[in-house]
């Protein structure tokens, strides 16, 4: 269970998103969907180097640049080892 302060903040953000226009709701949805795509890719590939390449954009190419993929993979490695 999250600490009470964090839960309060999450509840505030939920209210703000629900009360916002459709544009913000759409952006939040896309953000969460993207995070899920990368978590799934990490899990599917077992965290092997290059795992982030399997997430593709609408053009069939990797969704992130090589530099951004490297940064993301390093972040996941640090979180795993942390």
Question: What is the pLDDT at residue 76?
Answer: 93
Annotated domain spans of the chain: 4-81
State the pLDDT confidence band at 48, using cuts at 50, 70 and 90.
Answer: very high
pLDDT of residue 47: 95
Average the pLDDT over 50-67 and give the result. Answer: 92
Q: CA geometry: angle at 22 spanning 9 and 5, to 5°? A: 0
Burial class of 73 by CB neighbour count within 10 A (0 to 12, 13 to 18, 19+):
buried
**Amino acid 4: pLDDT:** 67
Is pLDDT of 1 > 70? no
Residue 67 CB-half CA count within 13 A: 0
């Amino acid at each position: 269970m999250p600490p009470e302060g964090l839960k309060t903040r999450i509840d505030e953000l939920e209210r703000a998103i629900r009360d916002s226009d459709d544009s913000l709701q759409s952006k939040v949805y896309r953000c969460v969907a993207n995070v899920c795509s990368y978590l799934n890719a990490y899990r599917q590939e077992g965290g092997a180097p290059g795992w982030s390449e399997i997430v593709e954009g609408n053009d069939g190419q990797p969704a992130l640049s090589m530099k951004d993929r490297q940064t993301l993979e390093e972040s996941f490695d640090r979180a795993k080892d942390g």
